[in-house]
Amino acid sequence: MRDLTLSEIWIYPVKSLGGIRLSSSKVMEKGLLYDRRFMLVDENGKFMTQRVYPKMAMFKLSVHDGTLTVRHHDDTLTIPAIPKPNEPAASVQIWENIVQAHEVDTTYSAWFSERLGMKCKLVFFPEEYERPVDPAYKVNDEQVSLADAYPFLIIGQSSLDDLNTRLKEPVPMNRFRPNLVFTGGEPFEEDHWRNFQIGDNGFIAVKPCARCVLTTVNQDTAEKGAEPLKTLASYRTRSSKVYFGQNLVATNHAEINVGDKITLG
């Protein structure tokens, strides 16, 4: 009997800023509680990520008692994790999607603008606002937050270990920004999962995760390089896309905990 165990839980409350490692989390339809409900947009209302602005990696986050703390070098900003926006909803763009979101507060936007050296706004995407997952991969008309496309991403520690044996310098899991990491099993076995349980919560694997240049940004220094994408492309390319990890939707909405056993359906 294989021992598959949930070993890490991560959320990224502001899209493309630093992640927060948790010991437990509430599973919501759009993703884990607080995960990617905020994002920064440019003057045209278009989403900003480390793909274009790698220095976004230098914003580190923590959450405590319903408050987010954002740290940038020696400066900090505190934001309600579920704010009541002061501004009316406006259209913003994330990939091909146009969604409604609220600027949280002009003072927060100014704080980020000053530190990034460009005008931007911090916007919030309320739980009740709609953003359907790709109809080709939906199971029950699921919705997603401001994540790239799906509510959850899982990666096996064995998959990263396999990649690191091929690299001159190993990389940490934070290059791939998963929500869920598990131990046990074979490298890349998550490629073949469909229905499974983590503790009491059911998930369905719907699509392998295609990777991009964000994986080449060092999350400690914001420096970009060629790896690990170059090596990953040498053995994980299909139909001109490089895959690492599996996108998920949830079939129910309970709590998950580090140490929960994973049971394949």
The residue ranges of every structural domain in the chain are: 5-264
Cα 264 from chain centre = 23
Tell which CATH architecture fits domain 5-264: Beta Barrel (2.40)
pLDDT given at position 86 = 78
Residue 145's closest CA among 175, 112, 101, 104? 101
Contacts of 145 (CB under 8 A, 6+ apart): 30, 31, 35, 36, 37, 125, 131, 151
Residue 189's closest CA among 216, 162, 221, 169? 162
Contacts of 229 (CB under 8 A, 6+ apart): 211, 212, 213, 215, 216, 242
For residue 200, give the H/E element and its range.
none
pLDDT given at position 4 = 98
pLDDT given at position 87 = 80
Per-residue tens of pLDDT for the chain, all 265 residues: 479 999 999 999 999 999 999 999 999 999 999 999 999 999 999 999 999 999 999 999 999 999 999 999 999 999 999 999 778 999 999 999 999 999 999 999 999 999 999 999 999 999 999 999 999 999 999 999 999 999 999 999 999 999 999 999 999 999 999 999 999 999 999 999 999 999 999 999 999 999 999 999 999 999 999 999 999 999 999 999 999 999 999 999 999 999 999 999 8
Contact in structure between 215 and 245 (CB atoms under 8 Å): no
Residue 85's closest CA among 38, 40, 42? 38
Q: Given phi > 0 = left and psi -120 to 50 = alpha, else beta, which region is 26?
A: beta
Contact in structure between 50 and 56 (CB atoms under 8 Å): yes
pLDDT given at position 85 = 78
pLDDT given at position 114 = 98
Determine the Cα–Cα distance for residues 33 and 161; give it in Å rounded to an integer: 28
